[in-house]
Structure 1
Amino acid sequence: MTTKSPLPKRGIIITFTILITGIAVSLWIQHMSKRAAVSPTLAFIEHNMTNPNGTLATYLKEAPSANPDYVAGHEALSESLGVWMQIALLNRDEQRFQQSYDLLRERYLSPQNYIKWKLQPDGTSEVNTNALGDDLRIVRALLEGYDLWQQTAYLAAAEAITARLQQSSMLEGYFVDYHDFLHQQSADVLSLVYVDTLALQAMERHGLIDRSVLDRHLELLQQLPAASQKIFYPQKYEVGVSKYTSDDKVNLIDQLIVAIHVAELGQSPQELIHFLKQELKNRGKLFGQYDRSSRQPAVDYESPSVYGLAILLALETRDQAWAEELYPLMLAMRDHNPRYKGGYVFDGDTHLFDNLFPLLAEVSLKGH
């Protein structure tokens, strides 16, 4: 009877070395694949539009702020932080999400637990107001982050921000656009673009608001009056007089965001979608603003954000073909200068939203 000799010591070492090398190569390939998958637009934002303190600059070019009510240069917005957090969630990027959460706690969140809507480039703030739409976007991201990674700090922050909103930024049971914490004054209107369907549903699901608060806001979208041409949505709801109001000119970015929230409720905004598809068919492009009554373009420019949001609306209504039709129109607006690779830069400058919303659309489209 013969028996096999045990593997020589040298053979064990060689086998072990091959195994470790194989694992290392595999991990390296995975790492390089992840790096290769990073969107050039995301890389552009991180390399060109991130302040030294980690906040996201609103414009590529530096410029002083002449009015505290308007954003300029490298000032940072809470809205940008919320969209950045959404992108991190879609990418399952816990590191970037945690970095955003740290910025929220260290820079944006006041001792009274309201979110300052704007920061100076150095991370300090000269404003004393919040912006409801930004707040709800961030709260939604925090709750989704908690659901995904079970970090209780995210839930606690969402609870604190929501509690402050209910204490200071509500009128007759409705959230309103902002509260001035210096003068203790609140807006008396609710911009419909701020009625974030998924945020409010997540807040109710986690016990942060009552069901009656959720229903009251969702009804605003479910009962939207049709415009005369049944295309464009009104802009605001005047809480004190229970009335929808509209401007003569409509911003297509706002219209698309409202349409996305309506679609999230299961109601397809067919009139607006039909109009947009006809515009693409007849003009080959979508413009940034339109006249409400004539339905003619009110400006001569296109916007990457418009195409990005239109893609998100197409995905929400499960119109994959339309999303894929819009995608190359959006990408065509990228700058061809190697210095700004992946960025939507025009005449040497860009607004951060014209990069964030296209990036959000790009990541969402690739996930479908």
Structure 2
Amino acid sequence: MTTWISTRKKTILAIIVALALTGIVFIAYSIIQSKENPDVTAAFIEEHMTNDNGTLATYLKPASSEHPDIVAGREALSESLGLWMQYAVLSDDRSRFDDSVQLLTTYFLYQEQEPYIRWKLRPDGESEVTTNALGDDLRILDALLKAFKRWGDEEYLQLAKEIGSTLQASAQTLGYFVDYHDFERNESAAVLSLVYADISALREMQNNGILSRQEYEQYQDLLSQMPSDGVFYPKIYQIGSGQYEYDASVNLIDQLIVGIHLAEMDQRPKELIQFLKGEFQQNQQLAGGYNRKTRKPDATYESPAVYGLAIILALKTNDLPWARQLHDRMIQFRGQDPDYPGGYVFDGNTHAFDNLFPLLAETLLESTGK
């Protein structure tokens, strides 16, 4: 009897130990997955950055907008929608893409006269703005046209053509697309921010008959002829004078996106990459902004969006080792808040693009690194 009880105790103890070890292995696996799997960031966005109507909130924390032209709190941007659509195409998720197209046509697309995309919505889906944002429009067009190429749905192509037709009819100055057009006042900007010269989207538009080859090539020329100060690129192109203008304080997100545009044309932004690699090697980090003259950081923060875009630039220039180094740094900022696993959350708040750009970068890295 005593032997039987002893054996039973040993069996129970063995079971407890086995369960404990299983739990430890599961927790370790979960931690590894949360560090290496981009799906955890997508899950965070869907759970915590999505409004009741399905639109993506710009910030995690609610806040009231003090002016229609300033985004705040849970307001939704066409920028976020475009990035989410690009992620859906890249991850081959047609269901997610179709849900995004539904959000586009239901909330963002103003269709009473010329169909244009309103750049910002209130959390309830209503809008107080009558302007578009060119960079966001082109990102959405890029996603629609690549989705058409992947899945062959003519509705994607037709929607892209409608939006592109409005851009050509109303959002141009002297033959160039401009940063925005106010459809209520019928007023357009006089400049093109070079970050908006989305060569990937413009190429897709040309391939699908939305732009002529001549129109596409003028944007290629605009970027090819763009000056550099030895590291950084200008901020805007003044269409009337044909002059490029620099910012004194350089936003690294802008610089990286312009660098990606160049890489899309097989023009490696050598000086910018050399500078970024030097900064990363010396400091083991990239700052969010730099003084253009001194080349010193003038921002104390690190941005997950910066690392996401730097990864994309590294992959576009076939530098997989550097992309992996940047990725190792980027994911150190993910999941720091235990209440928001998978998210890049700091002090209880985050911006949508600080999660969407890393999500795109990781998905691209995952597909490239295989």
Output the TM-score relative to the length of structure 2: 0.88
Contact conserved, 2:337 with 2:346, CA < 8 A, in 1? no
Q: Distance in 2 between matches of 1:299 and 1:136?
A: 29
Q: CA deviation at 1:160?
A: 0.3
Q: CA deviation at 1:212?
A: 1.1
The correspondence of residues 1-368 of structure 1 with structure 2, limited to 5 A, is 39-111=39-111, 112-227=114-229, 230-368=230-368
Contact conserved, 1:335 with 1:346, CA < 8 A, in 2? no
- Aligned letter for 1:246? Y
Q: 1:173-218: CA deviations, max 9, x gaps?
A: 1100000011110000000000011100110110011111101111
Structure 2: segments with no counterpart, 5+ residues? 1-35
Q: Distance in 2 between matches of 1:77 and 1:133?
A: 12
- Aligned letter for 2:316? E
Match of 1:23 in 2: none
- SS class of match (1:137): helix
Compared CA separation, residues 348 and 314, structure 1 to 2 (3 A)? same
Contact conserved, 2:262 with 2:268, CA < 8 A, in 1? yes
Compared CA separation, residues 313 and 38, structure 1 to 2 (3 A)? closer
Q: CA deviation at 1:336?
A: 2.5
Q: 1:59-87: CA deviations, max 9, x gaps?
A: 00000000111100000000100000010
Contact conserved, 1:335 with 1:341, CA < 8 A, in 2? yes
The total of aligned residue pairs comes to 332
- SS class of match (1:57): coil
Match of 1:19 in 2: none
Q: Distance in 1 between matches of 2:338 and 2:304?
A: 19
Contact conserved, 1:113 with 1:160, CA < 8 A, in 2? yes
The more displaced of 100-109 and 331-340 is: 331-340
Contact conserved, 2:336 with 2:346, CA < 8 A, in 1? no
Structure 1: segments with no counterpart, 5+ residues? 1-35
Q: CA deviation at 1:37?
A: 6.4
Q: 1:255-279: CA deviations, max 9, x gaps?
A: 0000000011001011000100110
Contact conserved, 2:119 with 2:132, CA < 8 A, in 1? yes
Alignment identity in percent? 54
Q: Distance in 2 between matches of 1:37 and 1:245?
A: 40
Q: Distance in 2 between matches of 1:340 and 1:182?
A: 40
Q: CA deviation at 1:338?
A: 2.7
Q: Which consecutive segments of 4 or more residues in structure 1 shift more than 6 A? A: none
Q: Distance in 2 between matches of 1:299 and 1:225?
A: 24
Compared CA separation, residues 37 and 357, structure 1 to 2 (3 A)? closer
Contact conserved, 1:334 with 1:345, CA < 8 A, in 2? yes
- SS class of match (2:117): coil
Contact conserved, 2:87 with 2:360, CA < 8 A, in 1? yes
Output the TM-score relative to the length of structure 1: 0.89
Q: 1:136-173: CA deviations, max 9, x gaps?
A: 00011101111111111110100000000001011111
- Aligned letter for 1:239? I
CA-based RMSD: 1.2
- SS class of match (1:357): helix
Q: 1:266-324: CA deviations, max 9, x gaps?
A: 01011000100110111111000100010000111110000000000000000000001
Contact conserved, 1:48 with 1:60, CA < 8 A, in 2? yes
- Aligned letter for 1:357? F
